[in-house]
A and B are shown apart, each in its own frame.
Chain A
């Protein structure tokens, strides 16, 4: 099938097998290897990317389902050499060790902060429930997300991260839980 997908600000046109998972399309075809695969059941969230500004698990979605949509990966967050505030906060708070879950964790955290600009501890923990980390015990991840909330001014993220919920009648992430 022919698809056209905007990934991190670049539009790609490709022929893909209908069964090709979005995460494999990103990794194998576009060399967007920043997004990783940690499981095959949608539980770990390591493959989380944004589809039109909302987090989705790219191992639970077909590439063809992204046709005509904007995908943002962890590789598309920095602008003009400046890291996204959530990336900065993960670094400053030592919120990663092996770093394998980090791309998905950062993408999910950005989505969470779009809904909850000033989340308390429990809100962060519940909001990240679909993303597993085996190294950090989550303590510094929770701190980082709360720190990022303080760092983020309105519109700090890239264009496709800016959205207003008016355009979305019901938030229905594709895949995941």
Chain B
């Protein structure tokens, strides 16, 4: 329903957020300066696994400006354990996760002491004067080696195996037994892929400020999850939840990397409580890379069964997933988010997924853009290409013969999910047309025939994903500790202006703009008359925050429901004001009228009448505010077809993306400008996994990619221009028809690029190249060497590290 003259939904509105961001009038957490504020600096372990035998802080304590130096011993009695909200199995091993190490460090970068001083410079100075004695323990880095349990990350757990999680379509009743499919198959392919470890690398380093006054704690944090953070900080510290206020002011990106309850948030809170003064901590980039959670890091063994005609029949997935040293907020659940997605858009009869989560002496992993679903999409799209090669089939034709046809929706998959809507044929047709698929295949054939130095490859990714997290009942069944609903409130102010309060917590997505569009569209008020309040638990007391491409599909829907409640009440009052039957009242363009007459009241008139409450219908409460909470009954399933053309220089191994087409179906689009932007950024991160980024460690467990000189976040010069378009099948699971777009580009793009590179060089005898496909790795593969794994050729940069965070 559109109440405005011109529909706001679908309009490429320029963003409200920009005004402060382009002028520097921003509110980053690190901008805050409070009277009497102290600064925390963190001493981090330079070793990956060791007992702490002694910490001498005496020199540091005497340094200028230092108020206090604290070690793990000082916090041992009060710090508790950082929360893991997703115990995926009953018998999952879960080590105690102290915010600061007490007697043992388990990854390089773990906090071992903190300095609290009058300035950040003084605090950093004093770190150098802390002496810590470590007694080295054996370092566990390789997942397969870890599972032999020769050396243990956490000796008290007795094993490095955290948990094993299984989905089997025969047991679930959603399909056949995959072993039967494999036994009966005409073709069986087995491949192993490595999902390298990535670093989210949000641009704003994390920052925390805690203020305490009269038993009331205010926590500012560069977080994606102010509501969850408040709940968890209360649970860990015992500070009553109503005495905690969490504020996420302007937050500079997250990508899952700020979906966390961090050691430093807890430490700042404990120190502020101890000292009765405000405390700030802002990390350096190197600290961020050493201690903020990483993403991906899986070894995927995939077995695919098929018939010779190309029909796929069975899929078996055996994963090893690296947890790192501790289980952070949703660490063990990340691979499980991929469990339902390996079968993707294809109709497999039998499916089995087994994931083994493993502890190592590395930075904990957790959510990073896509969280589990990029890994799944990569594996299946790589396998479809492998099968096409095996059978000598055209890779798009092979996909088409196996995917769910548009007339088959809603479709219940072998993983037990019901895809509500989609049209893979339409997205693919549009993508192939924009790409010039046939022409590029001809060009490729010419270059192959001519033996050109620069070969051309074409990569396909026909992906889907599950997002709009999430139906609370499903989360409960998966043993997740919270729900997946979202909430919204609308305050109708007496002058007709509107305040919207949302439980989502934007950090770049543009909710202030899009939520304004939704409300303007629904209520017929001007876009400019809507103000969106978010990210402060004092104004927005309830919410599940932003991640998992959920904000529009779930939070936007809550907003639609709240607006509908406003309109329902306003209609009753309008009928009362116009002395007519409510059934005769119509609402259009922000005005109520009596059908067939010229009698009308604007929404503003009605809101004012509700506010002054001089003459309300019997029993009606004054005011025109409304709250709504929406719990979806299904996930949403964006999909699309991405096509990538790469030029591979066979003499240097350099890969250049010469064309990238993304046609996505993200359901109904509220703001196409913002959707395009989300796709662009998602593509960049997925392409970065394929070509540039990898967190690497040396044999001692030291992160060798702890700066932006070493961890290769792509620059403008490293990326191509993208050609994007959309097809639309609205989601049926929410009234907006929105499916979500935050993660789609990242999920789709990695296999498109990798498939393209391999397609360019497969005829030269190359079978696989590990990601990131650096020139060195591609070149090495072209020399005919079988092993192109990370052990042989590191993809990182200079290998420098400053374990103390490189603060000034």
- Point out residues on A near B: beta carbons under 8 Å: 17, 19-21, 24, 27-28, 31-41, 43-44, 46, 73-75, 77-78, 83, 87, 90-92, 94, 96-103, 106, 121, 124-126, 128-142
Q: Which of B23, B202, B255, B707 is in CB contact (< 8 Å) with A34?
A: B23
Binary per-residue interface labels of chain B (667-693) against chain A in the complex, 1 for a CB within 8 Å, 0 otherwise: 000000110111011111100000000
Contacts of B708 in A (CB 8 A): 39, 41, 43-44, 132
Contacts of A87 in B (CB 8 A): 22-23
Q: Which of A106, A134, A141 is in CB contact (< 8 Å) with B713?
A: A134
Is B494 an interface residue, CB under 8 A from the partner?
no
Is B449 an interface residue, CB under 8 A from the partner?
no
- Determine if A94 and B15 form an interchain contact, defined as CB atoms under 8 angstroms apart: yes
Q: Identify which of B28, B203, B722 gathers the most chain A CB atoms within 10 Å of its CB.
A: B203
Is B77 an interface residue, CB under 8 A from the partner?
no
Q: Which of A17, A38, A91, A129 is in CB contact (< 8 Å) with B285?
A: A38
Closest 6 pairs (CB-CB, A-B): A34-B24, A99-B21, A100-B252, A98-B508, A137-B684, A43-B708
A101 CA to B21 CA, complexed, in Å: 9
A27 CA to B508 CA, complexed, in Å: 22
- Determine if B203 and A132 form an interchain contact, defined as CB atoms under 8 angstroms apart: yes
- Determine if B683 and A133 form an interchain contact, defined as CB atoms under 8 angstroms apart: no
- Determine if B23 and A75 form an interchain contact, defined as CB atoms under 8 angstroms apart: yes
- Determine if A37 and B24 form an interchain contact, defined as CB atoms under 8 angstroms apart: no
Contacts of B603 in A (CB 8 A): none
Query: Beyond A96-B18, A100-B28, A135-B253, is A125–B717 a contact (Cβ under 8 Å)?
Result: yes
Contacts of A135 in B (CB 8 A): 203, 253, 508, 677, 681
Is B25 an interface residue, CB under 8 A from the partner?
yes
Q: Which of B24, B682, B719, B745 is in CB contact (< 8 Å) with A35?
A: B24
Q: Identify which of A19, A41, A73, A98 gathers the most chain B CB atoms within 10 Å of its CB.
A: A98
Contacts of A141 in B (CB 8 A): 716
A19 CA to B124 CA, complexed, in Å: 13
Contacts of A20 in B (CB 8 A): 121
Q: Which of B15, B509, B715 is in CB contact (< 8 Å) with A132?
A: B715
Query: Beyond A39-B708, A41-B708, A135-B253, is A94–B673 a contact (Cβ under 8 Å)?
Result: yes
- Determine if B681 and A97 form an interchain contact, defined as CB atoms under 8 angstroms apart: yes
Query: Beyond A43-B709, A91-B14, A121-B721, is A33–B26 a contact (Cβ under 8 Å)?
Result: yes
Is B17 an interface residue, CB under 8 A from the partner?
yes
Is B638 an interface residue, CB under 8 A from the partner?
no
Is B250 an interface residue, CB under 8 A from the partner?
yes
Q: Which of B14, B251, B678, B808 is in CB contact (< 8 Å) with A21?
A: B808
Question: Can you report 13 A-B residue pairs in the complex whose CB atoms are below 8 A from each other?
Answer: A37-B205, A43-B708, A44-B285, A87-B22, A96-B18, A96-B22, A98-B252, A100-B203, A103-B24, A129-B716, A134-B255, A137-B682, A140-B676
Q: Which of A37, A97, A103, A139 is in CB contact (< 8 Å) with B721?
A: A139
Extra inter-chain contacts (17) besides given A40-B807, A131-B715, CB under 8 Å: A19-B808, A34-B23, A34-B26, A38-B204, A92-B14, A94-B14, A94-B676, A96-B18, A99-B18, A102-B22, A128-B715, A134-B201, A134-B202, A135-B253, A136-B681, A137-B719, A137-B745
Q: Which of B21, B24, B715 is in CB contact (< 8 Å) with A75?
A: B24
- Determine if A137 and B681 form an interchain contact, defined as CB atoms under 8 angstroms apart: yes
- Point out residues on B near A: beta carbons under 8 Å: 14-15, 17-26, 28, 30-31, 33, 121, 201-205, 250-253, 255, 284-286, 507-510, 673-674, 676-678, 680-685, 707-709, 713, 715-717, 719, 721-722, 745, 806-808
A130 CA to B14 CA, complexed, in Å: 27
**Chain B residue with the shortest CB-CB distance to A122:** B717
Minimum C-beta distance from A52 to chain B (A): 20
Query: Beyond A38-B285, A134-B201, is A33–B28 a contact (Cβ under 8 Å)?
Result: yes
**Chain B residue with the shortest CB-CB distance to A75:** B24
A100 CA to B62 CA, complexed, in Å: 37
Q: Which of A36, A37, A40, A131 is in CB contact (< 8 Å) with B286?
A: A40
Contacts of A77 in B (CB 8 A): 23
Contacts of B717 in A (CB 8 A): 125-126, 128-129
- Determine if B715 and A83 form an interchain contact, defined as CB atoms under 8 angstroms apart: no
Query: Beyond A36-B204, A83-B23, A87-B23, is A99–B713 a contact (Cβ under 8 Å)?
Result: no
Contacts of A102 in B (CB 8 A): 21-22
- Determine if A46 and B203 form an interchain contact, defined as CB atoms under 8 angstroms apart: yes
**Chain A residue with the shortest CB-CB distance to B674:** A94
**Chain A residue with the shortest CB-CB distance to B715:** A129
Contacts of A28 in B (CB 8 A): 33
A48 CA to B253 CA, complexed, in Å: 19
Q: Identify which of B25, B253, B284, B509 gathers the most chain A CB atoms within 10 Å of its CB.
A: B253
A130 CA to B673 CA, complexed, in Å: 26
Could you tell me the dominant secondary structure of chain B's interface residues?
loop
- Determine if B22 and A128 form an interchain contact, defined as CB atoms under 8 angstroms apart: no
A35 CA to B30 CA, complexed, in Å: 11
A37 CA to B222 CA, complexed, in Å: 14
Q: Identify which of A38, A73, A97, A128 gathers the most chain B CB atoms within 10 Å of its CB.
A: A97
- Determine if B716 and A74 form an interchain contact, defined as CB atoms under 8 angstroms apart: no
Minimum C-beta distance from A143 to chain B (A): 9
Minimum C-beta distance from A120 to chain B (A): 11
- Determine if A142 and B15 form an interchain contact, defined as CB atoms under 8 angstroms apart: no
A142 CA to B716 CA, complexed, in Å: 8
A81 CA to B23 CA, complexed, in Å: 11
Minimum C-beta distance from A107 to chain B (A): 10
Minimum C-beta distance from B188 to chain A (A): 38
Q: Which of A19, A33, A96, A136 is in CB contact (< 8 Å) with B24?
A: A33
Contacts of A125 in B (CB 8 A): 715-717, 719
- Determine if A40 and B806 form an interchain contact, defined as CB atoms under 8 angstroms apart: yes
A98 CA to B721 CA, complexed, in Å: 20
Minimum C-beta distance from A175 to chain B (A): 14
Minimum C-beta distance from B138 to chain A (A): 32
**Chain A residue with the shortest CB-CB distance to B17:** A99
- Determine if B715 and A139 form an interchain contact, defined as CB atoms under 8 angstroms apart: no
Contacts of A21 in B (CB 8 A): 808
**Chain A residue with the shortest CB-CB distance to B798:** A41
**Chain A residue with the shortest CB-CB distance to B15:** A94
- Determine if A134 and B685 form an interchain contact, defined as CB atoms under 8 angstroms apart: yes
Contacts of B745 in A (CB 8 A): 137
- Determine if B121 and A128 form an interchain contact, defined as CB atoms under 8 angstroms apart: no
**Chain B residue with the shortest CB-CB distance to A17:** B121
Q: Identify which of B19, B509, B808 gathers the most chain A CB atoms within 10 Å of its CB.
A: B808
A125 CA to B682 CA, complexed, in Å: 18
A126 CA to B807 CA, complexed, in Å: 29
Minimum C-beta distance from A138 to chain B (A): 4
Q: Identify which of B17, B22, B203 gathers the most chain A CB atoms within 10 Å of its CB.
A: B22
- Determine if B707 and A43 form an interchain contact, defined as CB atoms under 8 angstroms apart: yes
- Determine if A130 and B715 form an interchain contact, defined as CB atoms under 8 angstroms apart: yes
**Chain B residue with the shortest CB-CB distance to A124:** B716
Q: Which of A83, A130, A136 is in CB contact (< 8 Å) with B22?
A: A83
Q: Which of A73, A78, A98, A140 is in CB contact (< 8 Å) with B507?
A: A98
Contacts of A129 in B (CB 8 A): 715-717
**Chain A residue with the shortest CB-CB distance to B806:** A40
Contacts of B680 in A (CB 8 A): 136-140
- Determine if B203 and A38 form an interchain contact, defined as CB atoms under 8 angstroms apart: yes
Query: Beyond A94-B674, A98-B508, is A41–B806 a contact (Cβ under 8 Å)?
Result: yes
Contacts of A19 in B (CB 8 A): 121, 808
Minimum C-beta distance from A126 to chain B (A): 5
A94 CA to B509 CA, complexed, in Å: 11
- Determine if A96 and B21 form an interchain contact, defined as CB atoms under 8 angstroms apart: yes
